[in-house]
Amino acid sequence: MTMTPTYWRLCSTCKAEIGFQKIYFTCSVSTCNQKRTDLAFCSVSCWDAHLPLAKHREASAIEKRSPSLAQWQHQKDEERRVDDQPSPPVQARQSKTPNSPSAPGMPTVVQMREVSQPHDILVVVSKLKKYIYERSGMNTSDSVMKVLSDHLRTICDEGVRNAAKAGRKTVMDRDFKSFLI
């Protein structure tokens, strides 16, 4: 059987027990609420007692309710889980197999690989020429296809990076936001 705590915390001033789902008080000053200090008081008079030491210019007591035992234990579990799993360094992530699924929202580093045809034409030449002709009556030189394809590759690489940053394995329209007019 694991030990079930009978109270949530001790008052920072009088060390009285503050139970679960009980009213307690914190200080309005941020330095009193940092993880290392994290003061909690059983009453306003106990909050008053910390003032001479703290030398706040302006402060007030904030009434709060302590968590329930279940909430508190859940919170502890969460904290422990975070401690147990330090986020792996970028190096480790890069060496992972390319197909391993990553948790959604986890930023990943994508390794750009060589492609088999780095200068392949990526646009439908006839459609592009038709567009320019209908729009302007102009002809289009074939060399334009290479320039546009290179542009597309650059834009796609950026989209891939943005998708990886968002922890996705699918490049989506939103990954090209910065290129939309």
Task: Please report, as ranges, the residues that interact with Zn ion according to CB under 5 A.
Answer: 11, 13-14, 16, 27, 29, 32, 42, 46, 54
Q: Write the single-letter amino acid at 52.
A: P
Residue among 32 and 163 whose Cβ is closer to Zn ion = 32
- Minimum distance of Zn ion from residue 69's CB (angstroms): 21
Tokens of 160: 């891939």
Q: What is 100-147 written as a DSSP string?
A: ----TT------PPP-S-TT---S-HHHHHHHHHHHHS----THHHHH
3-state secondary structure of 27: strand
Rounded to whole angstroms, how far apart are CA atoms 70 and 168? 34
Residue among 28 and 149 whose Cβ is closer to Zn ion = 28
- Minimum distance of Zn ion from residue 32's CB (angstroms): 3
Tokens of 167: 């922890």
3-state secondary structure of 65: strand
- Minimum distance of Zn ion from residue 152's CB (angstroms): 59
Q: Check: CB of residue 173 under 8 Å from CB of residue 116.
A: no
- Minimum distance of Zn ion from residue 64's CB (angstroms): 14
Residue among 54 and 128 whose Cβ is closer to Zn ion = 54
Residue among 13 and 162 whose Cβ is closer to Zn ion = 13
- Minimum distance of Zn ion from residue 106's CB (angstroms): 37
Residue among 19 and 167 whose Cβ is closer to Zn ion = 19
